[in-house]
Every structure is written in C-alpha cells, then in structure tokens.
C-alpha cells in the first residue's frame, strides 16, 4: 500500500520510514513534493489535518501528516503547536532549544516536567479522516546532551528509563527512539486504521 507523508522535513521522513519498517513493512511511504499549506490551526490535530488534506488532494493518495511538539507544564503547555517557531519564523532548531533552556534557567528539576506530543492525521481521498495521538512523558534537562535525534531531543529526558539512567533522547539510538517516541506511540494507534483500508 502506498501512502504519501505530508512533510518536507527530512528528519520526519527518516523517522517515519524507520517506524514503519518496524511495524508495517508492507507500507510504502511516498515522499511529498507538493505545496505546503499554511499551518494556521491552533491545535496539533487541526494542523495535521490541514497538511494531510493538502497532500491527499495534490497526489490522489491516502496521506499521513504529523504535527508534533514539546509541551512544558510550567509554561502552560508551550511551546506546543509553536515548537518549530519558538524562536521566530526561521524554524531554527538550535535557537528554539536555546530559547527554551533560557526561559527555564531558574526552574528546579521537580518543575521541569514536559511531554512530546505527536498527532497523526490520515486522510483517504474521497473517504474518511482519522486523527490519533501519541504522548511521550518526561522532563527537560538543564543542558543539551547527545548528538542523536533533532529538535528538542537533546534536552528531553523520557520517563521510564532503567534505574540510574537519565539519558536525553539525543543519547538514544535510532532504534530506541523509534520504538518509544511519541510518533511511534501515535503510529501504533494508526496501524489498525491502515489495516482496514
């Protein structure tokens, strides 16, 4: 089965391909080269649907779109849907990370709880629309560590690590991330819907 992934972000494409290979190797992810819609939704679900609808209309294929971000409890859930633009319209991942660390500079560990959210929309041409969500709870470190992942990964310390370990996602292997991440959790919710197509 061929499904277009509605993103121009090469990191997301690679991550999705790795997740899909672990759970649905029969699914072929097709790159999207069409126009990007304006993401003017105020929720992850609204933005994911905007992107999936545009990609499905442009290609005539079933389309998947992810809208995701980091939500920090002490900031009322921000950056949230603005995660990619937290430091401005340039989508500068390093600047976004540095700004968030600066904003939390004086916040003690007990108050640094956060979670990654991934909302995936599936749009079938002339058919149904589905939205699923994956949450990856954890907290934010005081400094970046690790060279893996992208975005806020080097400062996010997921819950549920073995006793004594407090690694950031930047220190995870690709396989560890693809089996535990918010996108992997959302995709697991999507698998039965894909099987029904």
The domains of the chain are located at 2-195
- Maximum C-alpha span of the chain: 51
Please indicate whether residue 67 is annotated as part of the active site: yes
Separation between Cα atoms, residue 136 and residue 113, nearest integer Å:
11
Q: Which residues pair with 64 in a beta bridge?
A: 5, 122
pLDDT, mean over the chain: 94
CATH topology of domain 2-195: Maf protein (3.90.950)
Q: Does pLDDT of 127 surpass 90?
A: no
Give pLDDT tens digits for 40-80.
999 999 999 999 999 999 999 999 999 999 999 999 999 99
pLDDT band at 16 (very low <50, low <70, confident <90, very high): confident
Separation between Cα atoms, residue 197 and residue 195, nearest integer Å:
6
- Kindly report the pTM of this predicted structure: 0.93
Residue 99 Cα distances to 17, 61, 67, 78, 143, angstroms: 30, 39, 21, 12, 12
Of 26, 40, 67, 92, the catalytic one is 67
């Amino acid at each position: 089965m061929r499904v277009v992934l509605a993103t121009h972000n090469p990191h997301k494409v690679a991550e999705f391909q790795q997740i899909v290979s672990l759970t649905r190797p029969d699914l072929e992810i097709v790159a999207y080269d069409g126009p990007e819609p304006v993401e003017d939704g105020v929720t992850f679900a609204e933005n994911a649907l905007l992107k999936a609808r545009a990609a499905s209309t442009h290609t005539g294929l079933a389309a998947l779109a992810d809208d995701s971000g980091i939500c920090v409890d002490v900031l009322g859930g921000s950056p949230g849907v603005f995660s990619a633009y937290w430091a401005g319209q340039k989508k500068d991942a390093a600047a976004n990370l540095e700004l968030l660390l600066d904003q939390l500079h004086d916040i003690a560990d007990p108050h640094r709880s956060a979670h990654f959210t991934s909302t995936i929309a599936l749009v079938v041409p002339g058919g149904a629309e589905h939205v699923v969500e994956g949450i990856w709870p954890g907290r934010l470190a005081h400094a970046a560590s690790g060279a893996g992942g992208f975005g806020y990964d080097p400062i996010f310390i997921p819950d549920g690590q073995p006793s004594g370990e407090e690694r950031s996602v930047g220190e995870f292997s690709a396989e560890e991330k693809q089996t535990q991440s918010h996108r992997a959790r959302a995709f697991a919710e999507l698998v039965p819907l894909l099987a029904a197509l």
